[in-house]
Homo-oligomer: A and B are copies of this chain.
């Protein structure tokens, strides 16, 4: 038994049994050790950004940590952007990063870099393991730390000499003690309840609090206090569809969000941090919370949101609210646009579908359209770092909780398209709906705030993706995923329904109008 075995045994004892990875030479002892752990599943990803995004998706749908295993500084850097999204989602993840032995690092071999500095820049918890006898305890500590609350990344730097060094198996593998999220104080609950009752107010909800059950509690509180219920723009994962409360959602574009929040005197945070604009502008708001509006931090990330909502319901004696019901709108025939797209998706969602939503501008109508669809869950782009959608879908599907639909903008898809191969390799039930608008439409929209680009100008060429046109379906086929191209709502409906009833991955390229339409 060596350090590598000790690490895997401890992960298994802590129920971390899925490892998304692209390993290299410093990780060969861990690779070898995997053959002694039939119940630990290593998922090969052809780029580390796929591995980290997959770990994030897995965490969002299960609430449980998986691991990533990557190769020194460059491997970790390739996974950094999706760990940024995971940090914003408070996803528990254990990263294992192979490194050179200490003595060898002093020679500054080619792959050596400032790995500590890079790891620190991720935020979260990290340790370098220097002694194989510490592997088990530090691995358990890493698992404990990644659960927070709130959840975060834990990163273990594992020099190869630690992985290959012999260790004695302990009588028991250490199991992490998991901290429980504290409930807000009754004083804070009373204060929040009074504020909601007496002033123009909203609950701003997100994070752990956007399950159907908690949204229903929040709705009771809001009904009892004539407050609004507003969901953050990009929750890690929320429940949606028939029977689930569908709150208004904070608008992405700051000018509109400013108007949306302008009359509020109080915002009570449940699972979310204070509303902030994604970007600031020379001529435009750099703050969206109205001046003088109080923000009450009742249950920020890391606090027990269920307890907070339950206490508010009790404090206010808020009665249950009956939900209206409806059904998805009819799907218009003809060529696709963002509206028809949303209706086609909404009318076909099977019960329990998990959506990985990186649809960006093309997905504008999705949230509204799917209100009466079958119950489903939606993961979104928490950290605004594109390239999240396909990896997260891969990770979510690896959790085997049912089919996953990735709704993916073309520009974003190109960041981490390697995920498609692993979907095929693992035979995962993922439908990828790739939205071809041949444009970085959101950037074009923002560019046009400051500038009117001429056709074929330098700036316009930086937002167009049509020269040459990307054959997304062809690329997906090359990566091993059966694919089809659709141009009408009927073709899209057929393709979606066929994919939902066919095991394994399927790729659908949907042709939309060019650009911001």
Known A31-B447, A453-B35; contact A80-B279, beta-carbon cutoff 8 A: no
Closest to A443 in B: B24
CA distance A271 to B21 in the complex (A): 36
Interface string of A69-101 (1 = CB under 8 A from B): 000011101101100100010000000000011
Question: Are B108 and A113 touching (Cβ within 8 A)?
Answer: no
The contact of A443 among B23, B274, B386, B462, by CB within 8 Å, is B23
Question: Are B35 and A459 touching (Cβ within 8 A)?
Answer: yes
Interface centre among A21, A109, A442 (most CB of B within 10 A): A109
Shortest CB distance A28–B (Å): 5
Known A113-B84, A279-B160, A468-B421; contact A273-B25, beta-carbon cutoff 8 A: no
CA distance A11 to B451 in the complex (A): 22
Known A103-B280, A383-B74, A443-B24; contact A470-B461, beta-carbon cutoff 8 A: no
The contact of A279 among B109, B280, B479, by CB within 8 Å, is B109
Q: Number of A interface residues, CB 8 Å?
A: 102
A187 within 8 A of B: no
A168 within 8 A of B: no
Question: Are B164 and A450 touching (Cβ within 8 A)?
Answer: yes
Residues of B within 8 A of A449 (CB): 28
CA distance A274 to B106 in the complex (A): 12
The contact of A77 among B26, B32, B77, B414, by CB within 8 Å, is B77
Closest to A123 in B: B114
Shortest CB distance A439–B (Å): 12
Residues of B within 8 A of A280 (CB): 100-101, 103-104, 160-161
A121 within 8 A of B: yes
Q: A29-B450, A40-B458, A160-B280 are in contact. List 14 more A-B contacts (CB 8 A).
A: A24-B446, A28-B443, A32-B459, A35-B457, A41-B458, A77-B80, A80-B118, A101-B286, A104-B279, A111-B385, A118-B118, A120-B121, A164-B282, A473-B478
